Amino acid sequence: MSDPGPAGQPGGDPGGSGDSRGGDGTGPGPVHVHVHLAVAGTFPLRVADVLFADRAVLAVEYELLTPLFGVARGGVPRAGERAREVYRREGPAGLLAAADRVHRLPYPGLDGVRVYDGSAIGRPKIALDASEGAPYAYRVHAPVDVPALTVALENLGARRGFQVSSLSRVGFRPLASLRRFLADR
């Protein structure tokens, strides 16, 4: 489950190397689950891919968008398409190199992952609960099979030591959003 096509869908190693590292071996290692085209923040919005790699979760933020000039003019899909092309050409190492910012959460520092299905009115969301500080939360803008994503994360969580909860709701908690904003997450 590493293809940056529809989030959480099965895929292969885009570089064909078998290890998903860049040519210099400095990449994140194999990516087990890849959530493509996720958005965090309020102003500016941060477009990201979330990579569940061998030793850590990497939230790779590659585009900042304002609601008026970025979102209203189709900036989220365009940013996602550019990131998809980088990933296809260069793999995860290329995406990391092209990032504006990368949040690294080693699995020992990850208490759990919450997967929200968005209910009938919202987009799916993943929240990464860090052992210290506010969670990292991303709304998924790419098509995603939420049950398949949840199963993939549960399987990975069993091997890496974090819990996964699946919730049938929007996933909006005003106090948690304020804590994330103040922590710049």
The CATH code of the domain that includes 88 is: 2.30.29.30
Identify whether 71 is part of a domain.
yes
**Stretch 52-66: mean pLDDT, rounded?**
90
Which DSSP state fits 42? Answer: S
Q: Is residue 40, in this structure, part of any structural domain at all?
A: yes
Spell 23-61 as b/e; 16+ CB within 10 A means b: eeeebbbbbbbbbbbbbbbeeebbbbbbbbbeebbbbbb
CA 49 distance to own-chain centroid:
4
13 within domain boundaries: no
Q: Return d(Cα 27, Cα 89) in angstroms, integer.
A: 14
- Residue-wise pLDDT tens digits, 9-54: 333 333 332 334 433 445 688 999 999 999 987 677 889 999 999 9
Q: How far apart are CA 107 and CA 131, in angstroms?
A: 10
Q: Where are the beta strands (DSSP E) in the chain?
A: 31-40, 45-53, 56-65, 101-106, 110-116, 125-130, 136-140, 163-167
As a residue count, the chain comes to 185
pLDDT band with cut points at 50, 70 and 90 for residue 3:
very low
In a domain, 8, yes or no: no
Preceding amide of 44 cis, omega within 30 = yes
Number of independent structural domains in the chain: 1
* Domain with 134 in it: 31-182
**For residues 142-160, b (16+ Cβ closer than 10 Å) or e, as one string?**
bebebeebbebbbebbeeb
Is residue 5 included in any domain, yes or no?
Answer: no
Residue 138 lies in a domain: yes
Q: What is the pLDDT of residues 129-170, one digit of tens each?
A: 999 988 899 999 999 999 999 999 999 999 999 999 999 866
Residue 101 domain flag: yes
